Structure 1
């Protein structure tokens, strides 16, 4: 079964975004930095999924470019998968276009890969898998 793992929201100020969700009464997790993506983030857990607040650490990062072009807002939808490698293999066989062929390690040690919007109805779609255990 698939589920929405999280919704990624690009923000100019992580501090202001966190304050909004905290004022709403939601718990915001501690900030993390994903250096490879040049982003600082905070997760807001919800019942079975999360909101991921994304602030660029550099203007030339993917989130920095997104903000410059489109402003704050929904950046991507992430689906949880149990077998990211198998999912990628099936999707590639069907002609799906990816942002990168490389499975990366992101926030909290989760594995992830992005599907190009041209293959997903105009939506940047992320596949993510729980962090490996016993490694």
Structure 2
């Protein structure tokens, strides 16, 4: 796999509005998009930091993937998304599942 950069960092949060306010007022970043992904039961907010995006994730359901994550592990980094030069080739390689 030939990773070119971190595309985005997904961070699970309990309250999207409060988290947006923190990222804007304390860190000086600007939220450029908010969207709901119904099939993942999540609302997201995006910030750009150089070449990388930060994606805040608030669960819209306790039973959703992010809701379960927060219940088990608390708020924090949920996932890293890497950009690769050849996605088709990268998808053909065997994956090693991370523990946790």
Instruction: Determine if the TM-score, normalized by the shorter chain, exceeds 0.5.
Output: yes
Q: Secondary structure at the match of 2:31?
A: coil
Q: Secondary structure at the match of 1:26?
A: coil
1:83 to 83, 86, 92: 86
What is the rounded CA distance, in whole Å, between the counterparts of 1:32 and 1:82 in structure 2? 27
Q: CA deviation at 1:38?
A: 0.8
The question of 1:42 aligning with 2:50 is answered no
Question: Which residue pairs with 2:75 in the alignment?
Answer: 72
Q: Which runs of 5+ in 2 are unaligned?
A: none
Alignment of 1:1-135 (within 5 A): 2-23=4-25, 24-89=27-92, 91-92=93-94, 96-97=95-96, 116-118=97-99
Report the number of matched residues: 97
What is the rounded CA distance, in whole Å, between the counterparts of 1:83 and 1:54 in structure 2? 27
Q: CA deviation at 1:25?
A: 1.2
Give the alignment's TM-score, normalised by structure 2.
0.88
> Larger strand proportion, structure 1 or 2?
2
Q: CA deviation at 1:16?
A: 0.5
Greater relative contact order structure (CA < 8 Å, 6+ sep)? 2
